[in-house]
Amino acid sequence: MEGDGAGAAGSGDGDGGGGNGGGGGAPPPSAELLYSAALSGNVELLAWLRERGCPWDAGAFTAAAHAGSVAALEWLAERGCPMPTDGCALLYAAREGDLLTLRCLARLGCPWGHPGALVTSCVRAGVGAAALRCLLQLGCPVVWEHAAAVADAAVVTTVARGGGSTAVAAAAAVGRLLEEERSRRQDHEQRGRQGR
């Protein structure tokens, strides 16, 4: 990498030292530092750390998703940062009700995880109907019977825990949404078969 003076300012190395890792044999910054930069959404800091040999893994991508930083997610994806394969990045965004980040993650090709697991995790976590609807519209795979059972259990659990009418209504709305989407998809598939 090139010595642009930023290395000198950042490392205390007065000669502007080129090279990766900050010059003078200093080790590259840690992956944890990159996670913090991703969590802050600071793309310039991400670039600066990577220029100095900072390692990355799916944790950086997950941190950017947790922060809801579309700019950081796009920057990481464009440069080949590994994405988590278990759906956790999408779950973070869904828990926050962050539809913009959900759409970004889907557009970037972030894996859904094991088929059906993300939807059931969202239902268990109490994700709202808007975020769940967004996931379904984006093509998140669903195991309908399992999702419906988890949604029914969520209503029962909410009532058993003394959840107020708003919480019970929210849990029931998720169950209705799943049933409506299931019916819609079945109708669509049936029309497709009849049209052939």
| CA-wise closest residue to 66 among 42, 91, 43 | 91
133 with 65, same domain: the answer is: no
**Containing domain of residue 169, as a range?**
114-195
134 and 66 in a common domain: no
**In angstroms, rounded to a whole number, what is the distance separating the alpha carbons of residues 140 and 43?**
28
Q: Are residues 104 and 132 in the same domain?
A: no
What residue spans of 25-164 are helical by DSSP H?
Answer: 31-40, 43-51, 58-67, 70-78, 88-96, 99-108, 117-124, 129-137, 144-160
Contact 18, 3 (CB under 8 A): yes
Predicted TM-score of the model (pTM): 0.78
Question: For the chain, what is the mean pLDDT?
Answer: 85
Q: How far apart are CA 165 and CA 169, in angstroms?
A: 6
Provide the 10 A C-beta neighbour count for residue 119: 29
**Domain edge (last residue) among 111, 128, 163:** 111
Tell whether 177 is covered by a domain. yes
Mean pLDDT of 30-41: 93
How much of the chain exceeds pLDDT 90, in percent? 57
pLDDT tens readout for residues 98-143: 999 999 999 999 999 999 999 999 999 989 999 999 999 999 999 9
Domain identity same for 130 and 89: no
Q: How many CA atoms lie within 13 A of 4 on its CB side?
A: 7
- Domain stop point among 73, 94, 111: 111
Closest CA to 112 of 95, 130, 136: 136
**Local structure of residue 134 (DSSP, 8 states):** H
* Amino acid letter, residue 14: G
Q: How far apart are CA 52 and CA 55, in angstroms?
A: 9
Q: Contact 132/119 with Cβ under 8 angstroms?
A: yes
Residue pLDDT, tens place only, 140-191: 999 988 888 888 888 888 778 887 888 778 888 888 888 888 888 888 888 8
